[in-house]
A and B are shown apart, each in its own frame.
Chain A
Amino acid sequence: MPESITMEVWRYRPERESEPTWDSYEVPLRKEWAVLDGLNHIKDQLDGTLSYRWSCRMGICGSCGMTVNGEPKLGCSTFLTDYAPGPVRVEPLHNFPVIRDLVVEMGDFMAKLPTVKPWLVGDDEPDEDTEYRQTPVEMDDYKRYSMCINCMLCYAACPVYALDPEFIGPAAIALAQRYNLDSRDAGAEDRRDVLASAEGVWACTFVGECSVACPKDVDPAGAIQRYKLTAANKAVRDLLLPRGAR
């Protein structure tokens, strides 16, 4: 194994340059080092001006999303040795405006997320000591969608989001389904206006790349596809049945 590997890092410092540039750094190539460790080495030893986000170092917080050799990845879960002999090219996540270096602006997602009401919607306020029972089978319905860590890799992978920023996007729809499919939830009808709109599931052309990119195996593409079927069934029912019978 070679001693070191070259990391080419995408740089954008708005006060210095109007167009992004690339900087190259030599970092030690260690078996246990992830791309994030390489960036930390650069920041600590070589160039303190480099900006990027991270926190947990274990694929849980979702803050270290970045583009590694063209693919959206979690910096902390992507190992340098997989890219030896290098170079490794690190860019910010695609499809987002860049604030600085590898730091992107996710305000768009933050604004869209609450519109799908990603929380349990109840029929009425429960008593203090109401217990909501759920069988393991019922939990299986939504468990996968509850694993999302909001890392935005799916948005970075999605060409539809790149072309149409109004699209509410993979994770938001998967999170809506996480609650729609929960036996304790009664909010499906509330979420329908947003989900079944032109900027909701109908904007999706099932490229499927979101599910490939997702580090948590959430399968947002599957969630969207399932909801298309649900929304289509509901629409047909609306068309055929009189109001009272729905």
Chain B
Amino acid sequence: MSQVRLYRPPVSLTWWLRKPSYLVFMLRELSSVFIAWFVAYLLMLVYAVGSGPGAYRDFLDLSANPALVVLNVIALAFVLLHTVTWFGLAPKAMVIRLGALRVPPNVILAAHYGAWLVVSAVVAWVVLR
């Protein structure tokens, strides 16, 4: 066989802009940066609470800074994207059986959202009580 000259299409650096689904994937992966930011923010809060009422006041004032609020709103959007995509994918890895029956993926999905609701309600109740 004679040598064929193959054409190898290049992969562009912006391949994730080619399709909406690729872009959503990239945003989903970037949500991890905002989760790391949340950890830092939470530590600032805990540190302030541990330092006494004055430091806690300062933290509340700082958190009302418009730039920080904007950052946190963006972070919240990414975190929600994380939650929704995470729950969407989790049933794929899980095969749960009850006897011979396989629990349908929709039920697993609904269970995740149910658990999320309960956990969120408990956290809100503890914080706001």
Contacts and interface: CB of A to CB of B under 8 A. Distances in A.
> Is any CB of A less than 8 Å from a CB of B in the complex?
yes
Interface of A: 12, 14, 20, 70, 94-95, 97-100, 105, 137, 140, 159, 162-163, 205-209, 212, 219, 221-222, 225-226, 228-229
Interface string B1-42: 000111111010001101101100100010000000000000
B93 A97 contact: no
B7 A226 contact: no
Q: Which of B7, B8, B15, B95 has the most CB of A within 10 A?
A: B7
A140 B102 contact: yes
B93 A70 contact: no
Q: Which of B6, B8, B11, B94 has the most CB of A within 10 A?
A: B6
Given A97-B8, A162-B15, A207 B25 contact: yes
Nearest to B11: A162
A98 B6 contact: yes
B21 A212 contact: yes
A242 to B, nearest CB: 28
Nearest to A223: B92
A209 B95 CA distance: 21
B9 A98 contact: yes
How large, as a class, is the contact surface on chain B?
A: 20 to 34
B21 A226 contact: no
By Cβ-Cβ distance, the 5 closest A-B pairs, closest first, are: A97-B6, A225-B93, A14-B5, A222-B92, A98-B7
Nearest to B5: A14
A205 B29 contact: yes
A14 B92 contact: no
B4 A159 contact: no
B95 A226 contact: yes
Interface of B: 4-9, 11, 15-16, 18-19, 21-22, 25, 29, 89, 92-95, 100, 102
A94 B12 CA distance: 12
Nearest to B29: A205
Q: Which of A140, A212, A222, A228 has the most CB of B within 10 A?
A: A222
25 contacts: A14-B5, A70-B19, A95-B9, A97-B8, A98-B7, A98-B8, A100-B4, A105-B6, A137-B100, A159-B15, A159-B16, A162-B15, A163-B11, A163-B15, A205-B25, A207-B25, A208-B21, A208-B25, A212-B21, A221-B92, A222-B93, A225-B92, A226-B93, A226-B95, A228-B93
Given A137-B100, A226-B92, 7 more contacts: A95-B9, A98-B9, A140-B102, A205-B25, A222-B93, A225-B92, A229-B93
B95 to A, nearest CB: 7
Given A70-B18, A140-B102, A162-B15, A206 B7 contact: no
A14 B7 contact: yes
B7 A97 contact: yes
Contacts of B15: 159, 162-163
B14 to A, nearest CB: 12
Q: Which of B9, B18, B89, B100 has the most CB of A within 10 A?
A: B9
Contact of A209 (B6, B21, B93, B100): B21
A212 B6 CA distance: 28
